[in-house]
Structure formats: structure tokens, C-alpha cells
Chain A
């Protein structure tokens, strides 16, 4: 049985026209100790074997709670951090080992938008300069051309082009995030990695930015990796969604498949934890409340990392044998890293707690 699972755990099926492929991506941060000489005694496995493929024009949503490694993964893909292991392929070219200089042509094609619109803009530079910086670095046009382009960009993201000469502090949070978007768009990138771009914003302003990102994707055929802890937001913007827990992908599927038929108990717990803004629906259902906190990534639990908090934990199985990230029913592209996937959704609390009933891999395999 374990053999079969292993055999089904194939590497990504690649067609060759992916924009970005990550294979078994790892990032470990060393923990050192020592009086004079520092020796490595442990490592924080922030990202531990993440694989995915992304096609042009697609949006991949990445959800998970703080400490699950989603931001570290994004920084590895952007090569802002050196991955410890694994391979990143961008447009068919392996960029994992490229030096800073060799990365330069790729930098134009992949940009990033950050969470904090207050901290990610240099307060001493004018908005025009901030947006134009990448254009100047890559020497894309004369000064006059760059200025025209910057004003055009400001208009595209819904800012007044006349505000070219203002400083970031003269803008509100939402407007600053628009500046961040304009900066990312300046060099016509293919891929934009958005790291929690709306989590610092008010609801009404959040909607403006989400709509803007969707419009830009349509107009410029952009590809997004959208990282957020808010499941509602990820659902709204993504085509595919990847759920991360303690540095690993626990479930990945098309948006509808993931939200309608989650397979992994962690995804189920996340979905049931999101408050529904509807008093009749919201009060009728039961939250699946997970016990305790996320364990330390320095010393992750054995086998399935979710097992100490999992409502369907089966002793002797989940803590011994690591489940593979494979199809567990539903569409072929829907994979989950769990021995006892959820049979249907929503489940009652009792059903949630009884693993190994009909319909699980046990019998299916």
C-alpha cells in the first residue's frame, strides 16, 4: 500500500510551457551555538520541499498561518534568499544557481508587492522616483520617456499623474499600495509575487486593490503568486490554491475544488474557522477548533507534521508514515498530503473526528 502511494507520488507533470516551476524547494535557516566558534546545531526548516508549476496568466494563491513558510518561499522564488535545495525554473531556464549579475535580466520579469505599504516605500524619495527606479536601473528609455511612462503607470493604477512629485507620506495606505503596484508594473513583468498585499488595509480599500490587481491581470496578461492568510481574499483572486503548513504543501487544487471539497483536515479547519458574514449561515455551523499552537519549525513533528493537532489523527499511522501529496479523490489536479482525507464537505464534528470510514484512501487504494 505504501508502495503504491509512493509510485503515485510523481514529480510534477510538466508540459514545458510553464512560466515558473519550483521543484522540491527548500530553505533552512541554520541555528548556531558556541562560545567562540559558532557551530550549526539545528536548522529552522522554513520551507521544506515545496513544488508547483505556474502557467502564464494564472494566479496561484498560497494560504497558511504565520510561520508556515509562505513568505520565505516567495523570497526564494524571487531569489531574494538563496534556496537551500531544490530547483526553480523560469520560462524553461534554471535560475536556482544564477549569480546576482546573471539574475539581472530575470529581475525585469518578476516583481514583488509587499504587505506593508508604509514600510516598503522609501520615505525620502518622491513617488516618481520610486516608480521610475526599476526603469532607470534597466536603462529603459530617456528621462523624458521614463517620466511619461511613470505618469502613465500612475494613471493605470488609479492615481493622479500630477502627483508625480509627492512623497509617500502624502498618500493614504491604499494609495501607497497603488504606488507599490505601479512600481512592480513599471518594467512590464511577467510574474508578480504579491506578499500579503491587502492585509494591512481597511476592507473598503482592500476591495479597491483586489479589483485593481484583477483588472491589471486581464489587461497585461500577468501571472500572480498571491500570498495571504485570509482565505476569502485568496479564494476571490486565485485560479489554483496551495495550502501550506509548517514549511510544506498539505493540499493544492483548483480554487473551486479546494473550497468546495477540501481533502486535508487542516484545510477543513481553516475553512471552518473563517467567520461568515451572514448571521443565519454563520451561527448554524460549527467551527472546527484546532487545539494548541503551530509547533516550532526547528523541531517539526514526525511523519505528518499536522498530526499533533489533527482531529482525525490515527496513532501508528499518521505519526509513523509521512503521507504523500497525491490525488485523494476529486479532480486529478487536486492533491492532499493526508492518509485519511475528508470524505465530503462540510462534515459534522463527529464525522471530522472519525478517520478511516468509507471513502478514504484506505479502501480506495
Chain B
């Protein structure tokens, strides 16, 4: 088990280095100079040169990456080994600390993704299980139509549709903006209620694709497990149907769902970009798009680093969790 964990961690580090290097190389390959952009319309060669020096883009690529990596490490050997705060650098465009940019955007995206995940599981679990228990029933057929629509429709289109009907026409929910979960004193525009109110439409938009995928997966898993020999054994023992379902069917059928959920959080982070754009949420996706548009390498890299870390950590947690709930993994 420990051996397995160490191997996973080593792979995670390797993956992390590879992802950041690739981002650097892509930026290097793009024929745009952040220093020229920094100097505006009437850039003089001196201004560009000064800006390049200031931003550090006049140094070779490997050196830039080395500096970036050094800043990122939570420890340093300069002046004796000591711990320090890992830093993502400063934005090319407005010199803001990327740490604080990410720190502001991350809660928004986290709210969207995790709230969305809860939303889609709330839909997918009951619908998937019920349609597996009653195949070809009316509910099952409706669920299958939902799956088809959910998988085929693009989140931007769904988002615009929701914003138009539920937001603009019906006026039930706000169609733009974000509200903090934690209210500062005297601020009535924030707080959990406002937060959830602002996020209802983004959550629904975001959750539809995944809900569809999960309904299909849960339905298939449950149907497969219902045919397992050990389920028949449980019935042959005289177990009542609810116990058969809980202890023998669902326990086994939902095991792979846990893994899928871990892997899909990564995909979901990518998908969040669309939803954030439609509803104007200041999350990581929107930050990354703005940064890419202005060739702001540190900010882009900061979002990439952060997202990669989150995904890696999630996969690790899921692997561990899986080992806890599946004895076959734990004990082999």
C-alpha cells in the first residue's frame, strides 16, 4: 500500500513538471512579445528592452523556467535551507501577484464545480438507479431522452437558453455575477443564500452534461450488478429486497462511480470555462481566458499550475478512497 502510494506521488510530480514545461513551450512558440504589448501602441526599442528586462523575458527560456520553478518550491537553499511561501510570480499585464489572482478566482470555480458535482449526483443517482430497476418503463425512457439531450447539447447553448428563459423571461434567477459565500460585516449582498441564488443557473447548466453521463453509467452499473451471482446468493439467503439493494447491489455498483467522479473533476474544471463565460463568473476559467488573450504567461501558468495540482491531489484522494472501500485493491 505504501509502495503504491509512493509510486503514485512520484508520478504526480513527473506529471506536474511535464505540464508546466509544456505551457512554457507553447508560450515561447507563440509569435507575440509580452514586452512589446506592455509598452503599448508606441513602443520604442528602449521601452521594449526595458520592459523585457523588467518582466524577465530577455533571459533564455530554460532560465525563465528555472526561476519559475524556484519561486514555486516551498523551500529554498539560498542563505541556508529554509521554508518559504511558494509564489507563482507577477502578472505581465498589471503586476498583480498571481497568488492573489488565483486565490480570488479559485473559490468561484470551486463553488461552481463542487456545487455542480453535488447537483449532478443528486440527479444522476436516483434517476440512474430507478431506471436500472425498471428498464423500459416510462421513467427509463424519459431518462434516456434526457441522457441523449444532455450529451449532445453544448453547455454554452444550454447556458444561454437557461439565462434567457429562467433569468431574463421568468426573472427567477440572476443571469450574471457572483456573490461570496462568507459575508463581510454589514454586507447584505453576500452570504450563503445570495451565493446559492447566484449560482443556481450556472450549476444547472454545468451539471446537465455530467448528469447525463452519470445517469447512463449508474444505470449500466446497477443493471450489471443486479445480474451478479452474489446478488442471487443474497436473495437465496432470504435477504429482503432493500437489503439486497443496499448491501449487495449499490455497494458494488457505485464503486466505479467513485473513481469516475475523481477523474471527472479534472474534466469538469475544463468545462467550467464555458459556464463561467456565459454567466460572467470571475473564476479560474475566465481568468485563464483573459490571461491568454493578453499573453500574460505568469497568470496563465498560475492557473495551469493550480488546476494541475488540484487534479493530481484529487486523483490521489480517489485512489486512496477506492482502496479503502474495495478490499480487493487494499489487500493485493
The chain A residues found within 8 Å of chain B, CB to CB, are: 35-36
Contact = CB atoms under 8 A, between A and B. Distances in A.
Contacts of B6: 35
A36 B6 CA distance: 10
Interface residues of B, number: 4
Interface string B1-16: 0010011001000000
Secondary structure of the B contact surface, majority rule: helix
A36 to B, nearest CB: 7
Interface in B120-164: none
Top 6 A-B residue pairs of the complex, sorted by shortest distance between their CB atoms? A35-B7, A35-B6, A35-B3, A36-B10, A35-B10, A36-B7
A35 B7 CA distance: 6
Contacts of A36: 7, 10
A140 to B, nearest CB: 45
Nearest to A36: B10
State the main secondary structure of chain A at its contact with B: loop
Interface of B: 3, 6-7, 10
Contacts of B3: 35
Contacts of A35: 3, 6-7, 10
Nearest to B6: A35
B4 to A, nearest CB: 9
A36 B11 CA distance: 9
B5 to A, nearest CB: 10
B229 to A, nearest CB: 19
Contacts of B10: 35-36
A35 B10 CA distance: 9
Nearest to B14: A36
Nearest to A33: B3
B217 to A, nearest CB: 25
Nearest to B9: A35
A36 B10 CA distance: 8
6 contacts: A35-B3, A35-B6, A35-B7, A35-B10, A36-B7, A36-B10
A12 to B, nearest CB: 41
B1 to A, nearest CB: 13
Contacts of B7: 35-36
A35 B3 CA distance: 7
A36 B14 CA distance: 12
B15 to A, nearest CB: 14
A36 B3 CA distance: 10
B135 to A, nearest CB: 24
A280 B81 CA distance: 87
A35 B14 CA distance: 14
A245 to B, nearest CB: 27
A36 B4 CA distance: 11
A35 B6 CA distance: 7
Nearest to B4: A35
Nearest to B2: A35
A234 B3 CA distance: 46
